[in-house]
Amino acid sequence: MKIYLSSDMEGTAGVVDWSQCLAPSAEYEYYRGLLQNEVNAAIEGAMSAGATSFLVNDSHSSMQNLRPDTLLGDARYLSGRHKPMYMMEGLDSSFDAIFFISYHGSMASEASALSHTYNPRAITRVLLNGTEVGESGINALVALGHGVPIVLITGDDTTAEEAERVCPGIHSAVVKTSVTRFAADSLHPTAACALIREAAAAAVKGLGSAKPPQIELPATLEVLFHNGDLAEMATRITGVTKIDARTVTITDDDPIRLFRTFITVVLLTRAIVE
Ligand SMILES: [Zn+2]
């Protein structure tokens, strides 16, 4: 049984500030260890329920936050920048299930530690078929394209709630409750890892009834930017339509192509953020 793990960092218990999850800093060196423990807890839990093979796609910042030799389960490690499928690189239909580890809430959400949607300096809000989504919902397009269910998400309370909108019945390990974008009440790291182990095991045991994300096709992403220049820049990509000064939409019957267009928007608009 093959499990695909996409790991971010903002959702780790204890993490509440950019300085804790961006290299280089002593703080980052400490918190990357806590992230590694949470990734390993998910692998351990999955193994206890019968999972045998793991691919960890490091999806945070420059995407090289983990230590490959201390990954459990003889996990393969997909790391580094400019991955065409970004947070979903390496996924294909040979996988049985997907875990989202240490994810965070969307930019438009209720208080969620370090909330953002791909680019905190560009994107204000994203709707998927009219529903407000975070990175979990956008990444779910790729899961749908390959027909693989997302069965576990870890992070704060808001992150869990957002994933449920697109993946009803998803198992979640809520390791912290956010107070603001820069404050949260976290479980002790040991308790957080215990919770993640339990949730991962339950998610794998429940695989029989798990379904791919519930997203109607053709699907539409509506992206609201911080300013009109960003929206204008986005329209230079084929298939991106401006509907008002700061908002564009992308509609596609192929969920993977839709995701790729969105990622291209993210990469292109990065050039003109303030
Ligand atoms: Zn991140």
Average pLDDT, the chain: 98
pTM of the model: 0.98
User: From the CA of 263, how far away is ligand 1's center (Å)?
Assistant: 15
pLDDT digits (tens, 9 = 90+) for 118-147: 999 999 999 999 999 999 999 999 999 999
Tokens of 259: 């995701």
Best CA proximity match to 131, nearest among 160, 157, 106 = 106
Inter-residue contact 4 to 91 (CB < 8 Å): yes
Which residues are marked as active site? 116
Question: Whole-angstrom Cα distance, residue 180 to residue 183?
Answer: 5
pLDDT digits (tens, 9 = 90+) for 30-82: 999 999 999 999 999 999 999 999 999 999 999 999 999 999 999 999 999 99
User: From the CA of 61, how far away is ligand 1's center (Å)?
Assistant: 6
| Residue 82, Cβ density class (10 Å: 0-12 exposed, 13-18 middle, ≥19 buried) | exposed
User: From the CA of 232, how far away is ligand 1's center (Å)?
Assistant: 26
- At 110, the amino acid letter reads E
Pairing of strands 53-58, 2-7: parallel
Tokens of 10: 């903002």
For CA atoms 11, 178, 105, 162, the dihedral sign is positive
Long-range contacts of 76-79 (CB under 8 A, 24+ apart): none
Beta bridge partners of 89: none
User: From the CA of 58, how far away is ligand 1's center (Å)?
Assistant: 9
pLDDT digits (tens, 9 = 90+) for 224-271: 999 999 999 999 999 999 999 999 999 999 999 999 999 999 999 999
